[in-house]
Structure 1
Amino acid sequence: MDDATRALIDRITTDTAPVRPLRKGRGLALAGLAFMVTLVAVLFVLGARHGLMTGQFSVYFLVVNGLLLVLGLSCVTTVVAMASPQVGAGHEGPKWAIAMVGVLPAAAVLSATAPDGVGLMHVEGVHCMYLGLAASVLIAAALFVWLRRGAPVSQRLAGFYLGVGAGALGSVANGMACPNDTIAHLGIWHVAPVVIGALVGRYGIARWLRW
């Protein structure tokens, strides 16, 4: 190796420093901690919904929040994995969960427009949507920090899954305090933060994930 080549290598490596490798377990722990802090904060500020501790809630409450939890966990796992790109990784997992949750708004509309339905537009519903979005902020921030530490190849898809996952888990946290058990309410206003989160993540957050 001649002196010129050696000098070039020395200049390139002057500012390099060892970095801690990204471990998926740490990313999942970070997102899990953000979710738990959010859940505790919601219960502390808003209080637990009636019957939560005794299991006295409707099947709609269980189904909607269960599907949102599955969707949130699926997206969080995928986002954490996308920070460390691998050959052949398809990241198709959340699509099935998104399809399942997508049935809820249709069921809500059918229920609300029935002869004895309660309608869709009401102040409590909009209030729940705002609370769900607020509850998703810390989770979204944790996932954003993790992606910024990594090198996601598809920034738009990563931002989309970040928004969906944060919105879903934020709605679950808010759902622990929401007293409304009807499918018309849960299927619209508790799914709305997922849709809004997806749009914000895809068209807003994604541009900040470039490396």
Structure 2
Amino acid sequence: MKRDRDNLIAGLADDLAPVRGFSARDGAVLVTLAVLATVLGVSFFQGLWAGILSGEAEPFFWITNGLLLLLGLASASAVVAMASPHVGARHDAPNWAAAMVGILPVAAIISVIPHGHGPSALMDPVSIHCLTSSLIASTVTGGALLYWLRRGAPVSLEKAGWFTGLAAGALGGVAYGLSCPLTTVTHLGIWHVLPVAITAVIGRLAIPRLVNW
């Protein structure tokens, strides 16, 4: 009986192979590299705005990109953690960060109401360009987080999808935002935040179908 058991265990172990460790630090490094690659890509294809260093950037520029950065970091950290689920884990930070970013488009809309302008006041010559460019810039971080989720075993795929989209859109938006010289409330509050909402919806719909374990 003991020999049969030993043979069974040996047979099961024959096909085993060592695997690389799975740690949150590696996920953080992966996201960092993705963001740096995005910034380099924006710098190469678009060029970074010199006004950032010369003091031309208005306070709202820093507020918008700072809030987007916080949202991106909070969401990316949650996604990395969700790839290795454990009991008692809470992921509330992205929700609070998203609520803070949500104030920006509200401020943009309110800023045009007293002047009696219609929706056309929210448009500018580069609005669609910023929208599409931010969406393109989000693909690198989104792809990195998708890869990380596929390596792990996330339990709540729907929530992981939301957070992946938020992280990709926010971090991609910050990377592209370094090239945008427009610092008005209407431009930043609408056209640099709208891509985040779009990528969040895309993430919610696509990630559960792309991550299987």
Query: What secondary structure is seen at the aligned counterpart in 1 of 2:166?
Result: helix
Distance 1:116 1:64, change over 3 A: farther
Write the mapping of 1:162-181 to structure 2, written as runs, cut at 5 A. 162-181=164-183
**Alpha-carbon separation, structure 2, partners of 1:109 and 1:7:** 72
Aligned to 1:60: 60
- Counterpart of 2:129 (choices 127, 130, 145) is 127
SS at match of 1:85: coil
Q: Residue 16 of structure 1: CA displacement?
A: 2.9
8 Å contact from structure 1 (residues 160, 206) kept in 2: no
Partner amino acid, structure 2, of 1:87: V
Of 182, 185, 194 in structure 1, the residue corresponding to residue 184 of structure 2 is 182
* Range 9-18 or range 82-91, more displaced: 9-18
Q: 2:205 aligns with which of 192, 203, 206?
A: 203
SS of 1:90's partner is: coil
Given that 2:79 and 2:164 are in contact with CA atoms closer than 8 Å, whether structure 1 keeps it comes out as yes
Q: Helix, strand or coil: the match of 2:53?
A: coil
Residue 139 (1) aligns with residue 141 (2): yes
Compute the displacement of 1:186 (Å): 0.6
Letter of the 1:173 partner, please give it.
A
Aligned partner letter, 1:197: T
Matches of 1:108 and 1:12, distance apart in 2? 62
Contact 1:105 1:187 survives alignment (8 Å): yes
After TM superposition, give the deviation of residue 55 of structure 1 in Å.
2.8
- 2:108 pairs with 1:108: yes
Q: Compute the displacement of 1:122 (Å).
A: 3.7
Comparing 121-130 and 82-91, the one that deviates more: 121-130
**Contact 2:111/2:186 (8 A) holds in 1:** yes
Q: Does 1:160 align with 2:178?
A: no
CA shift digits 1:17-49 (9 cap, x unpaired): 221121111110110011011112112221122
**Quick one: structure 1 residues 12 and 113, their matched pair in 2 at CA, closer, same or farther if it must change by over 3 Å?**
farther
Cα shift at 1:183? 0.9
Q: What is the CA–CA distance in structure 1 between the aligned matches of 2:13 and 2:116, rounded to whole Å?
A: 72
Identity of aligned residues (%): 46
8 Å CA contact retained: 1:129, 1:190: yes
Residues 99-141 of structure 1 show CA distances to partners (whole Å, capped at 9, x for unaligned) of 1001111111112333176712344111101000111111111
Q: Does structure 1 residue 16 correspond to structure 2 residue 21?
A: no
SS in 1 for 2:20: coil
CA distance in structure 2 between the partners assigned to 1:113 and 1:50 by the alignment = 32
* Contact 2:124/2:187, CA 8 A, preserved across alignment: no
Greater mean deviation of Cα atoms: 103-112 or 165-174: 103-112
* 8 Å contact kept, 2:145–2:164: yes
CA distance in 1: counterparts of 2:86 and 2:47, whole angstroms: 43
Tell me how far apart the structure 1 counterparts of residues 134 and 91 of structure 2 sit (CA, whole Å).
26
- Point out the structure with the larger helix share: 2
> Residue 94 of structure 1 aligns with which residue?
94
CA contact (8 A) 1:113 1:119 kept: no
AA in 2 matched with 1:62 = W
Range that drifts further, 67-76 or 8-17: 8-17
Q: TM-score normalized by structure 2?
A: 0.91
Q: Give the drift of 1:52.
A: 1.1
Aligned residues: 211
2:193 aligns with one of 191, 197, 205: 191
